[in-house]
Chains A and B, each alone.
Chain A
Amino acid sequence: MNIYGIRAIYRFEMARTFRTLWESIAAPVLTTSLYFIVFGKAIGSRMGDIDSISYGAFIIPGLIMLNLLNESISNASFGIYMPKWSGTIYELLSAPVSWVEVLIGYVGAAATKSVLLGLLILGTARIFVPYEIVHPFWMIAFLLLTAVTFSLFGFIIGLWADSFQKLQVIPMLVVTPLTFLGGAFYSINMLPPLWQKITLFNPVVYLISGFRWSFYGVADVHVAVSLGMTFGFLIICLAFVGWVFKTGYKIRS
């Protein structure tokens, strides 16, 4: 195991984060604060409780998940796309590092950053809404699992993309709509019966539901199903990355 190699990639990526601290941390925190002001305070104050949870508190797990997914994907995809774009990937390809080590470095850094951001949003939420976390262990577990899974997904997007436009197309056209429709701002029980069924095909429903369960002990779908679905997506991503590394697809000519 090339520990120094992993450390070099991880530190390099984290340094990039701190170099762009304003964009990386401040912007999502500001956006989330706006959500709390608009949905939590202004609109939320006119809405009734959902599953005995105030609307402001109800949207916290969904908002964290929204940021977690977007940040994990964008961090990891940008991290591996940049060396491809600038040509510095020659160094990675000629270095004595295995792809597992490369993956640990890039995905580890992307996940670290999004977990830190998630915790920061959680702290920001405290300013606006009182909340409690019933299952803190599972909250952290869901946070880590989702961050790693979607950083892996972002890494795949970064490998696949050959332009900055492609880098943004999946997060914008797929992930954001799925998150909004995945119960970030509502319980799926509020949907008409047919849509309740259709929405179960949206994987983000399981992530948000499981995460919300760790906060308030209530969930749209059983927590074990949420956990299973998240692990399932993680395994799909790992299998795909394994295939990419084996064939050299889009990396090694």
Chain B
Amino acid sequence: MIADKPTPIISVLGVNKIYADGFQALKKINLEIKRGEIFALLGPNGAGKTTLINIICGIVKATSGTIIADGHDTVRDYRTVRAIIGLVPQELHTDSFESVWATIKFSRGLFGKAPNSAYLEKVLRDLSLWDKRDQKIMTLSGGMKRRVLIAKALAHEPTILFLDEPSAGVDVELRHDMWRMVRKLRAQGTTIILTTHYIEEAEDMADRIGIINKGELIIVEDKEVLMQKLGKKQLTLTLRQAMMNIPAELSAWPLVLSNDGLVLVYSFNAQEEESGIAALLSKLGEHDIEFKDLRTSESSLEDIFVSLVHQPMG
């Protein structure tokens, strides 16, 4: 018996976006976000990440295509959909003259929720903003303003949270606080979709990763699977004696010799069952090629990202 596939919390179906000047920001995007996951959307500047988020949140109109969030069409049932979505925008757009407390109270009301001071207090305390509640937003630092935007997005208790470049211009401490909070929210059942330039963050945080380039979603994959499928491993051998060139008997392995002849590098695919390392090492032994050091490394998500973005998959 085949288990029913769980219904995605967001389904993006064939979404295109062509701006008035003719620029196509999104090309037939199809994407499913699973309930309760942390999904990282990666892509270079201008790839279409923010456009896609803004279309889902209702800020930008799609030229064509449909988006279903929690079973509701985002255009037709916009009230139901928007009530469960929170958005932390990339830019620090704040009401400078308002106090922190007034602005989050406003956000909660705007999203149709009855006042709940106890909940708002908890949000502010979680974000270390409680002491600043009466301060005007204009007096806060950039990092604190980012916290205010997160508090505003959480004020109406959303079950889907979009974080558009939340780490941009944020110090290390806040970044750690923020990711701690994101993990906590996920543990409470909130689905989180984030875009980030810090790829190691996506590597650390995300369950699944989507890479978007020039308006096209070029890959969507579980993080582990992606790293395994597209990641490369390398075996680096530091030789005792320099070699002039690679012996013909070793031609079965794609080896690269350093200019000084002292380092031999063997690259292989991470997903291959047989790495060929054992055979290579025994071959080296047969030819009395001794090495004094051996180490292996594997490519990071950043390497995978760069290779995908610069050589789009066919």
The residues of A with any CB-CB pair to B shorter than 8 Å are 2, 4-5, 7-9, 11-12, 15-16, 19, 86-88, 90-98, 248, 252-253
Q: Is B9 an interface residue when CB atoms closer than 8 A count as contact?
A: no
Q: Which residue on chain B has the smallest CB distance to residue A3?
A: B112
Does B82 touch A at the CB level, under 8 Å?
yes
Contact with A along B239-256 (1 / 0, CB 8 A): 000000000000000000
| Complex: chain A residue closest to B109, CB-CB | A8
Report the bound CA distance from A4 to B114 in whole Å: 7
Q: List 13 other contacts, CB 8 Å, given A87-B93, A95-B82, A252-B60.
A: A5-B110, A5-B111, A12-B102, A12-B106, A87-B91, A90-B59, A94-B59, A95-B110, A96-B78, A96-B111, A96-B112, A97-B110, A253-B60
Residues of B within 8 A of A90 (CB): 59, 87, 89, 93
Can you list 25 pairs linking A and B with CB atoms under 8 Å apart? Answer: A2-B79, A4-B109, A4-B114, A5-B109, A8-B107, A11-B109, A16-B97, A19-B97, A86-B93, A86-B96, A90-B93, A91-B93, A91-B107, A91-B152, A93-B59, A94-B59, A94-B85, A94-B87, A96-B79, A96-B111, A96-B112, A98-B79, A252-B59, A253-B20, A253-B60
Residue of A with least CB distance to B20? A253
Contacts of A253 in B (CB 8 A): 19-20, 60-61
- B60-A8 in contact (CB<8A): no
Q: Mark B96-136, 1 if CB is under 8 A from A, else 0.
A: 11100010011111111110000000000000000000000
Q: Size of chain B's interface in residues, with CB distance under 8 A?
A: 35
In the complex, what residues of B have CB within 8 A of residue A95's CB? Answer: 82, 110-112
B236 contacts A by Cβ under 8 Å: no
Contact call A94/B19, Cβ cutoff below 8 A: no
Q: CA of A19 to CA of B59 in the docked complex: distance in angstroms?
A: 29
Least CB distance, B149 to chain A, in whole angstroms: 9
Alpha-carbon separation in the docked complex, A4 to B106 (Å): 9
Residue B83 at the chain A interface, CB threshold 8 Å: yes
CB distance A86 to B82 under 8 Å? no
Bound CA–CA A93/B111 (angstroms): 11
Beyond A2-B79, A252-B59, A252-B61, whether A8 also contacts B93 by CB under 8 A is: no
Closest to B89 in A: A90
A143 to chain B, nearest CB (A): 28
Q: Is B94 an interface residue (CB 8 A)?
A: yes
Contacts of B94 in A (CB 8 A): 86, 88
Residue of B nearest to A15 (CB): B102
In chain B, positions 59-85 with a C-beta closer than 8 Å to chain A are: 59-61, 78-83, 85
Q: Give the nearest-CB partner of A88 in chain B.
A: B93
Most buried by A among B59, B61, B89, B97: B59
B57 in the interface (beta carbon within 8 A): yes
Q: How far is the CB of A204 from chain B (nearest CB, A)?
A: 33
Contact B97 A93 (CB under 8 A): no
Within the complex, the shortest CB–CB distance from B39 to chain A, in Å, comes to 18
Compute how far the CA of A252 lies from the CA of B62 in the bound complex, rounded to whole angstroms: 11
Evaluate contact between B93 and A92: CB separation under 8 angstroms: no
Beta-carbon nearest neighbor of B59 in chain A? A93
Bound CA–CA A88/B109 (angstroms): 15
In the assembled complex, the CB of A109 is this many whole angstroms from the nearest CB of chain B, namely: 13
CB pair A9–B110 under 8 Å, yes or no, is yes
Chain B residue nearest in CB terms to A102: B110
Q: Considering the chains assembled together, what is the distance between the CA atoms of A93 and B89 in angstroms? A: 12
Contacts of A98 in B (CB 8 A): 79
> In this assembly, does B95 line the interface, its C-beta being within 8 Å of a C-beta of chain A?
yes
What is the distance, in angstroms, from A9's C-beta to the closest C-beta of chain B?
Answer: 7
How far apart are the CA atoms of A8 and B110 in the complex, in Å? 6
> B125-162: contact bitstring with A at CB < 8 Å (1 yes, 0 no)?
00000000000000000000000000010000000000
B58 at interface (Cβ–Cβ under 8 A)? Answer: yes
A2 partner residues in chain B, CB cutoff 8 A: 79, 112
Shortest distance from the beta carbon of B177 to any chain A beta carbon, whole Å = 23
CB distance from A22 to the nearest CB of B (A): 14
B102–A94 CB distance below 8 A: no
What's the minimum C-beta distance from B58 to chain A, rounded to whole angstroms?
Answer: 5
Q: List chain A residues, Cβ under 8 A from B98.
A: 12, 15
Which listed residue (A7, A15, A16, A93) contacts B109, Cβ 8 A?
A: A7
Q: Which 7 A-B pairs have the closest CB atoms?
A: A8-B109, A87-B93, A96-B82, A96-B79, A94-B57, A2-B112, A93-B59
For B59, what are the chain A residues with a Cβ–Cβ distance below 8 Å?
A: 90, 93-94, 252
Q: Contact: A86 with B111, CB < 8 Å? A: no
A93 touches B113 (CB 8 A): no
- Is the pair A96, B83 in contact by a Cβ cutoff of 8 Å? yes
Contacts of A19 in B (CB 8 A): 97
